[in-house]
Structure 1
Amino acid sequence: MTIYSYFIGTAGSGKSTLASFFVNWFRENTDEVSIISVNLDPGVKWLPYSPDVDCRDYVNIEEIMTKYNLGPNGALIASIDMLCTRIDELKTEIEDFRPDHVVIDTPGQIELFAFRSSGNLFVSSLNPEKSVLIYLMDPSLCRTPSGYISTLLLGANIQYRFLIPQIQVLSKVDLLTDNELQNFLNWSQDQYSLEEELNKRTKGLKREMSIKLFQTLSELGTMHELIPVSGINGEGVEELYAEISRILSGGEDFFEIY
């Protein structure tokens, strides 16, 4: 049984940093369960880790820009689409490691993976039944109640696209004060608290839309309790691992299964 964890979020939300820490933490805790990292961003120039499988070995964005006379954004789109034609090779390389857990670091530009058919192809070609989305919510984008709702809406949109379990994490919590962190946790743990803040701090059409979106997200069950994490000091990484185990391993400790 191989578990696939897709780290996904807006640009700058800390996906690569958290993915790197998670893989290192996993390896430090066991020698019996294998984990590998996969980079799916063809345009990244630097990573805080050395990926075991790297999409840049299959597509070269600079060559694509030159060959097809494309700008950076067009070349990124073309690169992802071209990578799809080599998905079987990528899958074989992953499976050759015989991993128990695969951490997939998705592109910095979220739309490349979340909103193009290529993203669904990657997930469906691997192991969708044992896959989970790790959705990173950037604190800088959701400090206000309406910003928080819009970030949740993006997460719901992503989950709708893939229809696999999603874990919502608040990233970069090492940059937050205790009061700021508690505020986010209150919103995620007590939906009435968030609704009250929306009524207090928004007006007119914005308030009306925010409340209706809040109600819709609540009815859909896409508002979950946040797991605060940091890819710098490791806060919340163990809790994140436990939630992945709960969802995909029936609550059993993954380290103890093997």
Structure 2
Amino acid sequence: MSRVGVLVLGPAGAGKSTFCNSIISHMQTIGRRAHIVNLDPAAEPNKYEFTIDIRDLISLDEVMEELDLGPNGGLVYCFEYLLQNLDWLDEEIGDYNDEYLIFDCPGQIELYTHIPVLPTIVKHLQQQLNFNLCAAYLLESSFIVDTSKFFSGSLCAMSAMILLELPHINILSKLDLVKDEYNKKKLKRFLNPDPMLLLDQANKDTNVRFHDLNKAIANLVDDFGMVQFLPLEANDPESVSTIISYIDDVTQWAEGQEPKEPKDEIEFDEL
């Protein structure tokens, strides 16, 4: 099996950990092996235990207590410490040479916009450990029903796409929590959005002083033409399976599989 990894990104509360657990559950169903690599020093395991856990190296709670730092400052310190000890990560991953690894990342966007923490880790995984990687960026569907928030989320997703330089899949999570039929219909506009059509709605919802800014953001999203979303219902196996198929395509997972030898003719007769 090829060395494949997916970085699960997105703001806090977007459903990243739930998505990671859904991938593990689906993999077990279809007979594939996968492991969660926790890169959030403040996270606790949910349904499935972490196979590799940054808290074995450094804990956010201990950093905040010992250095008198706040949550964000403590998180930055933890990742700077990880960058100084990447040999620890190499050693941990070395035990899972041919496995499918799911990297559950923190929700603080500054880790890949303000400081080059995640980009550095990505390059290390690619260049030193020969991983085929992709990024899955989650936005909560109930959040982006508001057009202005959609543009905000799109800018964050684009920032991650540009800085990480990875094949990128954008996901609308928690669709099953959107119960209102009107909002369900509205969400369809955001799966493959036309930013210029959404601009009119954004202008209706905001003060006229922000219309030029709205137009500039809409043009930026439209010019890049990269922001599309896949729907995710974490409890729906078909929804999870569809997203995994996209991840497999962009990481070329199937191409890295060893060809299976055909069964002997006698074996077929016995079946």
Distance in 2 (alpha carbons) for counterparts of 1:247 and 1:234: 20
| In structure 2, distance between residues paired with 1:108 and 1:185 | 25
Q: CA deviation at 1:255?
A: 7.9
CA RMSD of aligned residues (A): 2.5
| Superposition map of 1:231-242 within 5 A | 231-234=234-237, 236-242=239-245
Query: 1:63, 1:156 → 2: CA distance?
Result: 33
Identity of aligned residues (%): 24
- Gapped regions of structure 2 (runs ≥ 5): 261-271
Please name the residue that 1:146 is paired with.
148
- Indicate the residue corresponding to 1:126 in structure 2: 125
Please tell me whether residue 188 in structure 1 is matched to residue 191 in structure 2: yes
After superposition, what is the alpha-carbon deviation per residue over 1:136-170, rounded to whole angstroms, capped at 9, x for unaligned? 01123312111111110111111121111211100
When structure 1 is superposed on structure 2, of 233-242 and 65-74 the one drifting more is 65-74
Structure 1 residues 195 and 68, CA gap change in structure 2 (3 angstroms): closer
Q: 1:99 to 1:180 in 2, by over 3 A?
A: farther
Q: Radius of gyration: which is bigger?
A: 2
Match of 1:168 among 167, 170, 175: 170
1:222 aligns with 2:226: yes
Other-structure match for 2:266: none
Q: Is the 8 A contact 2:112 2:160 kept in 1?
A: no
Show the counterpart of 1:108: 107
Asked if structure 1 preserves the Cα contact closer than 8 Å seen for 2:173 and 2:232, the reply is: yes
* Stretch moving more, 146-155 or 43-52: 43-52
Q: Which residue of 2 aligns with 1:82?
A: 81
Separation of aligned partners in 2, 1:64 and 1:104: 22
1:206 is matched with which residue: 205, 210, 221? 210
- Partner AA of 1:230 in structure 2: E
Deviations 1:79-130 (A, max 9, x none): 1211122212212211311234211000133323554222112111112772
Unaligned runs of 5+ residues in structure 1 are none
Instruction: Give TM-score, length-normalised by structure 1.
Output: 0.87
Q: Which AA in structure 2 matches 1:221?
A: G
What secondary structure is seen at the aligned counterpart in 1 of 2:63? helix
Distance 1:58 1:87 in 2: 10
**8 Å contact 1:2–1:130 — kept in the other structure?**
yes
Shift of 1:222: 2.0
Classify the secondary structure of the residue corresponding to 1:27. Answer: helix
Equivalences, count: 254
Contact preservation (8 Å) 1:245, 1:253 = no
Tell me the secondary structure at the aligned position of residue 126 of structure 1: helix
Choose 65-74 or 158-167, whichever is displaced more: 65-74
Instruction: Out of 166-175 and 55-64, give the one that drifted further.
Output: 55-64
Give the whole-Å Cα distance in 1 for the aligned partners of 2:114 and 2:246.
Answer: 25
1:18·1:232 contact (CA, 8 Å) conserved in 2? no
Distance in 1 between residues matched to 2:107 and 2:9, nearest whole Å = 8
Deviates more, 1:140-149 or 1:164-173: 140-149
Q: What residue identity is the alignment partner of 2:227? A: M
Cα distance between partner residues in 2 of 1:61 and 1:190:
38
